[in-house]
Structure 1
């Protein structure tokens, strides 16, 4: 098996877990590759013993069997961007905090590698959201796993986002911003703004306003076959848009439209994992906080 490792940060106290991961992969006869970013992190932590190849070309990702994302959910979102349309399955090793997406704990490294080697896993196909515009944005990397967001810039006054579904007028949101979330992203920014939780296999998007001026405005769930377009107004000339953690500034003349991406993100689901278990664990459902 060809397995790549990717991470955005690596604390020195986590390095023993990385050594265990390498040892487990070598025992299974895996060819180990790392991204250039993760290679720099390993060298910064004084690596002199770990053996691997460095992925230097985008096309190198096409031959991979898996990519292991080492970090939190933010690292896994970045891993999706790194993989792009190659659809390489991604396993999230959680060295972060919350971990809705990166679900493998460091004490299950050897077990996780054994599952990969034996084929004892499932692949969850997660919907991506794609952005279309009349100008080049995000260096052409115009898809996201969690959400697309329109937001006011800095501390300026609220903006108005005229929103259309398949060309039909939906609403004008007077707010700090507007989120269009995938089912995967329903546990992220959208949730913190009052959006609903959606199971990962749902065929929907969620449109959630950020701090709306009209309190009777609520999130709405639409089909992911919908094409959602926007017109933005405000007192300033510039606005912010984001795809997951990547953001850029635009003007009101920029045309924006989102839809479902043609390809999915493939996440590795190990045995005994279920989305409902993660919800209960991460959101403390069923716990009496008085005790």
Structure 2
């Protein structure tokens, strides 16, 4: 079994989790463990000699069986850029804050790894979004996809922007707002939720379009089929605007036309059998919290 480990930062919580994981994996026969180079660089800055025995890799390939992400949900979003369309299952150890995607707490690492090696888990297929632009933008040549959302927002101004929106080339409306979010079901519990969007279960074949601080009381989040092609054109007092793919941000000209649609591949998230999306809603977002319950 070939396993990669990734993290975006190296702090005491991350170190605690990494030590437990490496000790567990290195004591199992037939397991090869690799640290992704970006993570290893963070480690070497803090502990330059303690983890030198671990193999290092710059990229992933189909020979890997599992990617373990150590951090929060943002770390998983970054880890996805390594997985891309390789169909490598991903599981997250939560050393961050909320941990909606990264669900394993440090004290549960060993029983969770036991479950994985015993194949006591299920795979949750998570859909992604891809972006295309006219004219073409080189920033999207390699990483043009997002697991949570693709969002456009204003830049260098306090003024609203107008986001002309078309669905399958049919005009929907022009949102006067601070921006617009196109979210997957996975991303519905992220940025879209904080802007008033609905929670969507991960197995739903839909997208949600959520305006950011719209200056119109009739502007509401809209749920559409995930086969819908969303086309956006931004106008505003400034010549440029921001587009973000999860946590990756690029500046685009107002002349740019953005097309967003479902990606042709999915990300395989490992879910332990005792976990579920609804259980996570209750635990992480205090869904339905009521002392009467």
What TM-score comes out, normalization by structure 1 length?
A: 0.95
Say which SS state the counterpart of residue 104 (structure 1) adopts.
Answer: coil
CA distance in 1 between counterparts of 2:13 and 2:84 reads: 31
Q: 2:164 aligns with which of 162, 173, 186?
A: 162
> What is the match of residue 123 of structure 1?
123
CA distance in 1 between counterparts of 2:274 and 2:145 reads: 30
Q: Is the 8 A contact 2:62 2:88 kept in 1?
A: yes
> What is the match of residue 275 of structure 1?
277
> What is the match of residue 77 of structure 1?
77
The answer on 1:66 being equivalent to 2:61 is no
User: Which 5+ residue runs of structure 2 have no aligned equivalent?
Assistant: none
Give the stretch that moved more between structures: 149-158 or 168-177. Answer: 149-158
Q: Is the 8 A contact 2:17 2:70 kept in 1?
A: no
Query: 1:14 Cα deviation (Å)?
Result: 3.8
Q: Is the 8 A contact 1:191 1:197 kept in 2?
A: yes
Deviations 1:126-148 (A, max 9, x none): 00001011212334310000000
Q: Is the 8 A contact 1:73 1:101 kept in 2?
A: yes
Query: 1:63 Cα deviation (Å)?
Result: 1.1
The answer on 1:18 being equivalent to 2:14 is no
Say which SS state the counterpart of residue 140 (structure 1) adopts.
Answer: coil
Deviations 1:60-116 (A, max 9, x none): 432100000000000000011121111211000100010110001111111121122
Q: Is the 8 A contact 2:13 2:95 kept in 1?
A: no
Alignment of 1:1-291 (within 5 A): 1-29=1-29, 30-46=31-47, 48-50=49-51, 51-56=53-58, 58=59, 60-134=60-134, 135-136=136-137, 137-288=139-290
Q: Is the 8 A contact 1:224 1:260 kept in 2?
A: yes
- Give the number of equivalent residue pairs: 288
Q: Is the 8 A contact 1:31 1:52 kept in 2?
A: no
How well do the aligned residues superpose, as a CA RMSD in angstroms? 1.5
Q: Is the 8 A contact 1:28 1:117 kept in 2?
A: no
Residues 138 and 49 (structure 1), Cα distance of their counterparts in 2 relative to 1, 3 Å cut: same
Say which SS state the counterpart of residue 86 (structure 1) adopts.
Answer: coil
Say which SS state the counterpart of residue 261 (structure 1) adopts.
Answer: strand
User: Which 5+ residue runs of structure 1 have no aligned equivalent?
Assistant: none
Say which SS state the counterpart of residue 179 (structure 1) adopts.
Answer: strand
